[in-house]
Amino acid sequence: MTNAIEIRQLHKTYIDGKKGQHKIALKGIDLDIPEGSFFALLGPNGAGKSTMINIMAGLVHKTSGTVSICGYDIEKEMREARLSIGVVPQELILDTFFTVREALDIHAGYYGVPKAKRRTQEIIDALGLSDKADIHSRRLSGGMRRRLLVAKALVHNPPVLILDEPTAGVDVELRNQLWDYVRKLNQSGTTVLLTTHYLEEAEQLCDRIAVINHGEVVACEKKQDMLRSFDQKQLVITPTMPIEEISEKIKNWKSEISKEGKLIIDYKPSKDNIQDILNAVSSADISVRDLTTREPNLEDVFLQLTARNRAA
pTM: 0.84
Element (H, E) at 278: helix 274-283
Name the residue ranges covered by the structural domains of the chain: 231-295
Show Cβ contacts of residue 99 under 8 Å, excluding neighbours closer than 6 positions: 133, 134, 135, 136, 137
- Distance between CA atoms of residues 197 and 305, nearest Å: 15
- Distance between CA atoms of residues 276 and 220, nearest Å: 34
- Distance between CA atoms of residues 102 and 120, nearest Å: 9
Q: What is the mean pLDDT of the chain?
A: 90
For 255-294, the pLDDT digits (tens) are 999 988 999 999 998 889 989 999 999 999 999 999 999 8
pLDDT of residue 312: 45
- What is the CB-side half-sphere exposure of residue 294 using CA atoms within 13 A? 14
DSSP annotation of 138: G
123 touches 104 (CB < 8 A):
yes
* Domain 231-295 annotated CATH 3.30.70.100: yes
1 has pLDDT over 80: no
Q: What is the mean pLDDT of residues 111-130?
A: 91
For 182-241, the pLDDT digits (tens) are 999 999 999 999 999 899 999 999 999 999 999 999 999 999 999 888 888 899 999 998
pLDDT of residue 84: 96
